[in-house]
Amino acid sequence: MTRSLREVVFVDGVRTPFGKAGPKGIYAETRADDLVVRVIRELLRRNPALPADRVDEVAIAATTQIGDQGLTLGRTAALLAGLPTSVPGYSIDRMCAGAMTAVTTTASGIAFGAYDVAIAGGVEHMGRHPMGEGVDPNPRILSEKIVDPSALVMGSTAENLHDRFPHLTKERADAFALASQQKYAAAVAEGKIGPELVPVATRSAEHGWGMATVDEPPRPGTTLEQLGTLKTPFRPHGHVTAGNAAGLNDGATGCLLAAEDVAEELGLNVGMRLVGYGYVGVEPEVMGVGPVPSTERALARTGLTIEDIGLFELNEAFAVQVLAFLDHFGIADDDARVNPWGGAIAVGHPLASSGVRLMTQLSRQFAERPDVRYGLTAMCVGLGMGATVIWENPNWEGAAK
């Protein structure tokens, strides 16, 4: 029996507005699974040509799979969203790359022929479930020095990256962070960020019902002077601050994936086409370097080079890890191809959800940029990993008509 792989396309992506974690955040009294439900329903609402029973799988990621982020979230959220009981679902965890892994895993199933259509996404309610809640690390991890103790504190791993690459100064990190805030603010003002957002009804016992319609974390008035005065909580006289790192956030993302022929059959949008991907492991204590080898792997396996990539959506967990990536590939800190609408330093990083935010933004950028053929989404991953996915623009002006 011979098999041929099918082309897989990203049809559409949406997300909730991202909130600040904690008792004063917009989602303080909103359940994590309800955020996912809102995302799934919105995907179906925006794509009425897709019959609900044509969805073959729902994969939802969460880093802290406990409480309202537990109980096989992909299945329970699918049921709560009103999908037919015939639609299965599952949960997935690769820390920050959870949603990205949900996409590549279901996409691989589509390419193989096991599915026609899938929903993939992620959620993190860091206010309800701080990173590491309820975990019980095997004592051998530290007692046998399998990893350095700093590997379990993400901010410390970023400080370690500054140590390894001393030319990546705090001043460069702060300048990159400021640019992220400025690019995000410009994208909102120009209407580039906003159409993908799903309004979410929020509840507060003190204030009653509200509606989340915009991202809560951005600080548009940020200045370099302000960034220079912030504390370095992970090390005295360190480099990493609340200003040049993503915050603690709540939010959910989701996307529709399909075989390209099925998308054409159903009249669904083709936002971008999957080219390939790569995941790698690196030293956990410098996890921020992960996107470098994962990108090298993805490029090698697709036969592309870094010069072929016209747009980069890099998750800004910490400014230093993006700078390490840019330096390795010879890309300027202010290269216009990189995070043109800002990044996680401005908008936030609800861990397992962020991969699909990157993809959704890249897909929307592709629609505006027929001069660009390939784009890349990449992120560092806790416990020492990197993740990269390469996409092709179906609107590329050089494509055969």
Residues 6+ apart with CB under 8 A from 393: 272, 273, 310, 366, 369, 370, 372, 373, 374, 375
> In terms of DSSP H, where are the helices of 166-220?
170-189
Q: Which amino acid is at 335?
A: D
> Which residues sit opposite 90 in a β-bridge?
59
Reported as type and span, the H/E element at residue 366 is helix 354-368
- What secondary structure does DSSP assign to 223-261, as a single string? -HHHHHT---TTSTT-S--SSSB---EEEEEEEEEEEHH
Structure tokens given for 17: 């507005």
CB 144 within 8 A of CB 37: no
Catalytic residue chosen out of the listed positions 125, 129, 162, 349: 349
Which entry of 129, 162, 239, 380 is annotated as an active-site residue?
Answer: 380
Our answer to whether residue 255 is catalytic in this structure is no
With contact defined as beta carbons under 8 Å apart, do 11 and 268 qualify?
Answer: yes
Our answer to whether residue 96 is catalytic in this structure is yes
Q: Are 179 and 334 in contact (CB under 8 A)?
A: yes
Tell me the HSE value of 144 on the side-chain side, using a 13 A CA sphere: 6
* Tokens representing residue 190 in the block: 């120009």
Radius of gyration in angstroms for the set of CA atoms belonging to the chain, rounded to a whole number: 20
- Residues with Cβ within 8 Å of 25's Cβ and at least 6 positions away in sequence, in order, are 19, 127, 216, 250
Which residue is catalytic, options 96, 125, 129, 162?
A: 96
Query: Quick one: DSSP state of residue 25?
Result: S
Render 288-350 in DSSP notation, one character per residue.
GGTHHHHHHHHHHHHT--GGGEEEEEE--SBHHHHHHHHHHTT--TT-TTB-TT--HHHH---
- Told to judge if 129 belongs to the known catalytic residues of this protein, a careful annotator would answer no
Query: What is the C-alpha separation between 194 and 329, in angstroms, rounded?
Result: 31
Q: What amino acid is encoded at 59 in this protein? A: A
In the block, tokens 């990993």 appear at: 385
Active site residues: 96, 349, 380
